[in-house]
Amino acid sequence: MKKIIFVCTGNTCRSPMAEKLGEKIAEEKGLKVDVLSRGISVIKPEPAHSNAIKALALYELNLTDHIAKNFNDIDANEDALVLTMTMKHKEYLLQLFPSLVGSVFGIKEYIGEVGDIVDPYGMQVDVYCDCAKQLRSIIIKIIDKLKETSNDSNWL
């Protein structure tokens, strides 16, 4: 089974939403993939932000059991596609883990788009809902791309 790791800053908003959306979309499209999320600056193991939980409830997805985790050496050594919410996250991971060259991409970069997923942290629930909607649209494209190349031994 292949693996996708979505990465943001604190692993309480964007990347956990992407993880749950990715799991659902991959399942709906018949792609067998393990989907995880991590942060680059997790200070303590916190739950998902309450507004992220509310935003994903609109997609009948449950984030209440999520606990934030840092991207670490073990993740860097996985055979995984690492998708960051911003290009700064990508640059940071490549500084820490040079071995990720060729397997880490900005989430939009991976599908040929430009830009970042703006952090909704501390904003109103509608901003989280907009973020989830944007992530869903992008992840559909990601899963479609991966399905096209799923017969290949390498997604990247």
* pLDDT tens digits for range 96-150: 999 999 999 999 999 999 999 999 999 999 999 999 999 999 999 999 999 988 7
Pull the structure tokens for residue 125. Answer: 């629930």
The pLDDT assigned to 70 comes to 97
| 142: helix, strand or coil | helix
CB 125 within 8 A of CB 51: yes
Annotated active-site residue 34? The verdict is: no
- How many C-beta atoms lie closer than 10 Å to residue 87's C-beta? 16
Annotated active-site residue 8? The verdict is: yes
Annotated active-site residue 126? The verdict is: no
Domains along the chain with CATH numbers: 2-148 (3.40.50.2300)
Catalytic residue (choose from 34, 116, 119, 130):
119
Q: Which residues of 11-29 are buried (b: 16+ CB within 10 A; e: fewer)?
A: bbbbbbbbbbbbbbbbeee
* pLDDT tens digits for range 64-103: 999 999 999 999 988 899 999 999 999 999 999 999 999 9
